Each structure stands twice: as structure tokens, then as C-alpha cells.
Amino acid sequence: MDKDYRPFHPAPRKPAFVPPAGAVDAHCHVFGPAARFPYARARKYTPCDAPARALFALRDHLGFSRNVIVQASCHGEDNAALLDALEQAGGKARGVAVAGAGVSDATLAAMHRAGVRALRFNFVRRLVDPAPPEVCLALAQRVAALGWHVVVYFEAADLAGLAPFLRSLPTNVVIDHMGRPDVTKGVDHPDFKAFLALMEDPRFYTKVSCPERLTATGPDYSDVVPFARLLVARFGGRVLWGTDWPHPNMKSHMPDDGALVDMIPRIAPETAQQRALLIDNPVRLYWPEEEHHGI
């Protein structure tokens, strides 16, 4: 398969915004290196290699303390690269894995010990062939017993069909990238209002991330700001933020991760909002033992 990617930014700028101590990049990936962790045969794209050491160097450069590493579709159900990154992180990362119906309880338990705290269900058809909702529901019921939650990725046009399934899940649910709204329609469009209605359920969280994927006008992503800012203002205790590094499948441009960090005060202008977005909310989901002990 030919490679289908833009390489990640080689020298992101140092952001002007300084994240608070303990800040979490709650959505990022590791890819390969392919010589050690081959990509899935059934993948629909081939990314550039983006190993753990490069991710952790970016974390330090941007001023973050921890990562939540999300298994992406190009590695399929083989979580080896993710688990290796968690081992290298020394407790400074947690994981979101992908698994199928055949995954054993022993494998799930081993992933939990390694630092995985969620399963991801991807319903974006251009990236994957989605599993049936009943299969996802059965998996969610199994991982709920481990205290995990579910991360879901879908596009705005699919929300109406997915909403009954999403509401049936027995765990907290984290929605990637604001449900991928069509930002040209505005925050008052019925499509985004349907997403806001879903978010009224206190089990739902969302990542106010990926302006580079959602924008219709390009950097400086001003057309995305009203959506993220509204979610932060209305659901400040259930929003997360992440870089999405290394930005797989980007066709239009490759974002500067420093510029993405500088989006944070535009969508979360108050210090308390920033702390909730970057520390309190991700810790509650991924390091709950710290919240419970008041660390």
C-alpha cells in the first residue's frame, strides 16, 4: 500500500500559552515504527512512523505533563505499539485501545495493568468498517467491569442513527472532536443542537480538539472557535483537549502543534476552565486514583 500522509510538523513552535502544571494531552497517537510494529493489512491509510520517543519529546516541548494515547485504525486491533508506548511512559501516559469481540478477559486485564482505561469504537466509514453496535455494546459491558469508559468517533451526519446506541452504553462516553460538526452551518444549526442535547446527559464527555480537521477556512481556525468555546462554557466539567499528533490523514495542511496549544485560551479563556479542560477532567477519567486520594 502506498503511503497516504503528510509528515508531522518537523519543528513546532514553542507555544505562547503555558499549560498549567500537570496538563494532559488527552488525544494523541503513536504509529510504528513499522519495522517493529507493522500496520494492519486491512488499514485504509498508511501513516508516517511516529514513535513514542517523538511523542514524549513533543509533550515536553509543548509544556504538557502527560498523554492519553489513542489506538488508531491503521494498527487495527493490534495494540502492541500503544502498549509499548505506555511502558516507556513510566506512568505519564494512559491508553485507549481497540479490541474485537474475540478479545479475552486475560488480554483486557493485561491491558488494564499496562495503563489502558478505555476502548475506542470508530464509526467513520472512510477509515474503518465499523463493528455492529451490538458487538460494541457487548464489549462495553465487559470493560465497564474494569472501570473503563468508551471513546467514540463519528461524524455529525451519523449522530441521529447512533444516538440510541450511545445512550445505551453502560459507561461514561467520550466523543472525539466535538462529533465532527460541519462548522459552516454554525452553532445554531439543528445538527449541532442535537449534539448539545446528547451532551446534556452527564455520562457524556467530548474532546474540543482537531480544529485543523474541522476548519473550512484554515489557520487560524477561527471558524471552529465558537463550537469549542460553547462546549467549554456549557459543559466545562466534561471537556478534554488533545493535539491529535501526528495528525494522520491530513490532506490540506499539517498543523503546527504549538499553534494548536495557543488555541486553548481562545476556547477556554478563564483559568478555571483551563484547569478543568487540561487537568481535572482527564485525571477523573484516566488517573481516577489520584482524584480519589486528592493528589
* Predicted confidence (pLDDT) per residue in 55-109, tens digit: 999 999 999 999 999 998 999 999 999 999 999 999 999 999 999 999 999 999 9
83 within some domain: yes
16 within some domain: no
4 within some domain: no
9 within some domain: no
Looking up residue 98, the CATH number of its domain turns out to be 3.20.20.140
What percent of the chain shows pLDDT beyond 90?
A: 87
Please give the chain's pLDDT, 295 residues, in tens. 445 567 899 999 999 999 999 999 999 999 999 999 999 998 988 899 999 999 999 999 999 999 999 998 999 999 999 999 999 999 999 999 999 999 999 999 999 999 999 999 999 888 878 889 999 999 999 999 999 999 999 999 999 999 999 999 999 999 999 999 999 999 999 999 999 999 999 999 999 999 999 999 999 999 999 999 999 999 999 999 999 999 988 888 999 999 999 999 999 999 999 999 999 999 999 999 987 555 4
14 within some domain: no
C-alpha cell at 261: 496549544
10 within some domain: no
* Predicted confidence (pLDDT) per residue in 103-124, tens digit: 999 999 999 999 999 999 999 8
Q: Which residue in the list 244, 257, 262, 280 is annotated as catalytic?
A: 244
185 within some domain: yes
Q: Residue 258: give the domain boundaries.
A: 24-292
7 within some domain: no
Instruction: State in Å, rounded, how far the first CA of the chain is from the last one.
Output: 47
Query: Closest by alpha carbon to 263, among 233, 228, 234?
Result: 228
Q: Is 280 an annotated catalytic residue? A: no
**Could you give the number of structural domains in the chain?**
1
